[in-house]
Structure 1
Amino acid sequence: MDSKTAFLAEALATALPTGLTTDAGVNFPAFQGKLRYLHTPPKPCDPLFSPPPGHETEKTRLSSHFLTFGIAKSDTVGGKPIVGSVLDDQEEGVLGIAIELLVYTTRYLTTLFVSKADTTGYIPNHPPSRTKAVCSAFIKWLVEQEQQRHPHRKVVVSLFARAQSQYLFPGSAEHNNKHVLDDRQLIRWWARVLDPLLDIAIDQEVKAEINGYVTIPGYDTQELRGYLPRTQHSHGRQWKTGHPLAELAETRGVSAAAPPRSLLPRFPDDPKARFMQDLDDEVGLAGDAPVTVSPSKRKSGRWNNVGDLARFWEAMEFRQECSSGRVVGFLWVVVSPASDSKDGSQLTDAMKDGIPSLEQGSICTLADAPDIVISAPASKLYHSLSDLRDTTPTPSQFISASPTKKRKRKPLTGPIVPRQPRLKGGSSSLTATSTDLNGMLNSIRGDGLLITQEGYDRAMQTLLHLDFANLHIAARSTTKWVNEVATVCGLASDWGVDVVGRAIVASPEPKASAASNGGGSGGAINDLGGMVRKKKRKDIDDTPAVNVLSARKKPKAVEA
């Protein structure tokens, strides 16, 4: 395994800043905190793209990745711990940053969708930005993992920037130190977060073409250029206006002239996907929608009045999410190996990705821990890749095999033995161990907790029902969430990993650059939500002018 993608904690430590002293004598200690990372094994899911007419749906697998980064209460801002409080002794600290990514895998394409990202506002916002460093390092680490696993497969990072006051931390918008961005600032911020992906080092044998794309419904090319990062990248990598959907369709083996619904992905909570659903309902393409058009037109898979991608983005401008003064930006980063070929294998099971198939049970494991906590029936898992190969028939066996006659099943006789009821989804035990599976689970790449989708959903629902309105409540909510995940996984203690920043920073960025860049510098950003805050203008030139005029009128009035 390549050392640069071995551990997520190592990648974050390299990206986070170490201590520095400014020219004014201000001392900033090394940034340190606790990393907590959850991820699920790939499982079959609904296709990301609708198939063209006459084609089968693409087999797609989905895995969820959730990262949080917290700091100690003594390093927070916006409040002081209560002296003698029980919270002073808790070691979980306070959650400060969280980001969720959904990884969709098909035969020729891997799509990393940034689902949600948020902050609580308790991490000091002095430059450089901790939020930007954590999000950028995490996304880059996942891309490098996919590149190492499938070096000839195209990888796409996709997201839409829509400003909200809070996404993952309920009540955090009430915290005064939470820096909320408006729509335009948020788009520029995300472009800077994704910008380091254009500098990913690929093996010399596999030269990669990496480009970024930004599109905003209702904006022309000239207006979009103001949102592109101006960083100079090597090997001709650059940011472009527009979208790569036609290029991605070619990678998938779909013609660019196919219906637009077959070229556009459908992500969760996506304003673009909601518009696509409305267009499907108009022509009866939805599964439960009544047929309102002729069968021939419905079979063509085309929408009314939206015949191509250009018309789709024009119509998106008038959607509620993109109108009434709101702006939604769609961003992509496409990593395309120059030797891109369609010789990848269809992902028919999770073992192709080096992860065991989990039909039942619950798995929670720390990759860097000697003991692995697992609850799953061993009979449902292959113990090694050799077992999978032994049970797979060769092509010659398929050709030479002759059809066999169907045997009649004999009627069963004897006493009836009732079976014990079993919970749907697997065993109810969360602490059982299996030594036969330790070797296979140790081969899983990355660090963090590997957990089933049911356990992941439970962890996310718990987080969304907590409160982070002030420091004391946020610390208590952090403890509750950490303990809840530990209970699901059968862990006895905190499962976080300590990280200390090692990136050398010359000096903090000046605050004046925030206004000049039209969205704030990377260090000034502490949140990824969006609440428009208009600064009050101070008419400095008008104030002295009024005073002078009033002073001149008074003497005239006295003389009169």
Structure 2
Amino acid sequence: MTITTSSLRAHLLQSLSTLPNRHDLGLTILVSEPKKTTSIFPHTPIPPKCFQQDFLIVLSSDLPSNANIKPQDQDSADAPSSSTTTSLFEQDESPKKVLVSAISANLYTFPSSSSTASSILYISKVDSSGYSPSALPLTRLLIVSFFNFFLLHVQNVRIQLFARSQNQYLFANSSQGGGKKVLSGAGLCKWWKNVYEECVISYIKLKSTNSTKEGEQEEGIRLNYLLPGYEQVESLNLLGKGKDLPERLKWEYKPPFDNPITSTGNTNASTNSRNLPVSLATLIPSLPDDPKTRFLEELVTDSFQQNPNPLKQRPQQQKQGESSSGSASVKKSKKEIELEEELNQRQSSHIALSKIDKKEFWERIGFRQECAGDVTGFFTLEMSGKNKINGDVETTISKITGETGGEKNEQSSTIIPPIRPTTEIVDPITSLDPESEKVSIAQPKDIPISSNSIPSSVPASQSTDRPDTIPKEPLLRIEIINRLLTALTNLDFANLTLAIEGSEIWLKQVKSIVKGEIGEKSSEGCFGLIPRKVDLPESGGAGLVRKERQEEKVTMLMPRKKKKV
């Protein structure tokens, strides 16, 4: 299923509209169009068919015109002074905006021959600037709402992240501003564990409000985490008990991707046809900026240094043999030679990773630099089973996607894309190149789809680089989102003045680029507003204001004091 900007925007606005916010909140929702990728499994000869969508969600807030601004989670003397803040508003009477929270994520969808695909939602980066004028936990609420959207609308999804404490990820120098609290490694892992629990609890409450229809299958929710280098007992002491989860739901202490992704079965069949052994290459995906990815690369590199790849010389030897055999042989093009070299490289990498046991892999990763210094953690929320969609949202999505030529499930009104014949022959060399427009002779050439228009006359079964179900509303190119993400990380949030200036520049840049990419009317759907609430009590209302941290009670044996005579 392709996620559309309008459906995600509607969900986030609806979730955040219940906040007792005293200042206007702005949402920027950037969603990319699906793009075929092979980078998620780069060490196997025939990677599974996978489509990638990128997301960049940024929350901004208006600042009050008075000088009494208290940065979030901070009672420090480093907070902006009253005189500094007042001078910012003397230049312009319009309210100033500042970016307060941001999420960068990737969705990997693996189409299946059945009606249900599998997906990985990878949370690449989450950060807060520390300049929110409200005490509301905006970052936490934004993440929970973001997670719940995918639990509601994506079937068989795994929400995966790697928690590692850093001063900043998306807002450069924001730790110097005086309003940002940087958690320790154990504190960050505990925070993420609570976020996952809050997400599951709120999702189950939301689903329980809807009556279960007859014939609807039970959903399976699984939670697991791993702190590399620590035993389970040690992890419990570090993270604590956590929230009370619903019945029959508990955390499991095990590594992520302990079992293969459902849709990779065709990949295993393909590798078996090549007489290749079972390998980590088809079990552990290579996600961006993730220690697992770097460790897999190092294992392959070390293996090649110890045992040089004998397949590297094959294309050159075959090329020499063809040139000496005369006109009977067909000379390969440069592109074909490069693709064949890549195929041989992947096959050798697959064999190299097959010699590493998965238990050994997870034990050794705890000694790596990313995991050895401070406490780090892998967290997974896995949802399986038939996932029903709320009726209102479902109607909205149907209006957006329109008629796709797919069939409707009798138990659900969600669109199921037409299934391709299983007898389709796939060229393994061509399939390794996601950007290639080469197709078989029996199929017409795929028509490029621009970001401004999507042709509806091309049958979905003829497209080789895009999912079967394509929304009619335009989406951004992945390159555009990467460009705007880079622009965000290049801003300076060292103090409130720089944060306001950088926020204004970035928001104007986003509106200009998105407007030029998908048009003025479509670009309006990438932005949303949560109006401020008036007549709120002084406490902020609804009990959502962050409470001051209390001293934890520690039970331990104490020496008994002697009584004075």
Aligned counterparts, 1:44-123, within 5 A = 44-50=36-42, 56-74=46-64, 77=71, 78-79=79-80, 80=82, 81-83=85-87, 85=89, 88-91=92-95, 93-107=97-111, 108-123=117-132
**What corresponds to 2:486 in structure 1?**
461
Distance in 1 of aligned mates of 2:369 and 2:9:
39
- Contact 1:87–1:472 at 8 Å: present in 2 too? no
Compute the RMSD of aligned alpha carbons: 4.3
In 2: Cα distance, 1:344 partner to 1:193 partner:
37
1:487: which partner in 2?
512
| 8 A Cα contact 1:172 1:467, kept in partner | yes
Q: Which residue of 1 aligns with 2:374?
A: 326
**What does residue 360 of structure 2 align with?**
311
Counterpart-to-counterpart distance in 1, 2:193 and 2:545 = 20
CA displacement, residues 117-174 of structure 1 (integer Å, 9 cap, x when unaligned): 1111011463x52211111111221332324xxxxxx211111001110111112121
SS in 2 for 1:211: strand
Could you give the per-residue CA deviations for residues 494-518 of structure 1, whole angstroms, max 9, x where no partner exists?
863211489973475643447569x
CA contact (8 A) 1:207 1:338 kept: yes
Once the two structures are TM-superposed, the CA of residue 238 in structure 1 deviates from its matched residue by 2.4
Aligned match of 1:525: none
Aligned to 2:28: 36
2:159 is paired with a residue whose SS is: strand
Distance 1:8 1:228, change over 3 A: farther
Q: Which residue of 2 aligns with 1:528?
A: none
Gaps of 5+ in 1: 20-28, 148-153, 350-356, 364-373, 393-439, 518-560
2:529 to 498, 513, 516: 498
Offset of 1:326 from its aligned partner?
Answer: 1.8
Is 1:277 equivalent to 2:297 in the alignment? yes
Tell me how far apart the structure 2 counterparts of residues 129 and 160 of structure 1 sit (CA, whole Å): 21
Q: Name the TM-score, length of structure 2 as normaliser.
A: 0.64
Match of 1:132 among 112, 128, 140: 140
| Corresponding residue of 1:292 | 308
Q: Which residue in the other structure is 1:247 paired with?
A: 259
Give the distance between the partners of 1:501 and 1:345, measured in 2 at CA: 47
| SS of alignment partner, residue 258 of structure 2 | helix
Measure the CA separation in 2 of the matches of 1:84 and 1:322: 42
Letter in 2 for 1:196: E
Larger of the two Rg values belongs to structure: 1
Decide which moves more: 262-271 or 340-349: 340-349
1:164 equivalent to 2:166? Answer: yes
Contact 1:67 1:99 in 2 (8 A): yes
**What is the 5 A alignment of 1:404-419?**
none
1:335 Cα offset (Å):
0.4
- Call closer, same or farther: CA 1:123–1:156 in 2, change over 3 Å: same
Matched residue SS, 1:462:
helix
1:8 match: 9
Structure 1 contact 18–30 (Cα < 8 Å) conserved: no
Tell me, yes or no, if the aligned pair for 1:228 and 1:240 is still in contact at 8 Å. Answer: no
Structure 1 residues 221, 106: closer, same or farther in 2, change over 3 A?
same
Q: Contact 2:278/2:354 (CA < 8 Å) preserved in 1?
A: no
1:359 aligns with 2:448: yes
Tell me the TM-score normalized by structure 1: 0.64
Shift in CA distance, 88/47, structure 1 to aligned 2, threshold 3 Å: same
Tell me the percent identity. 22
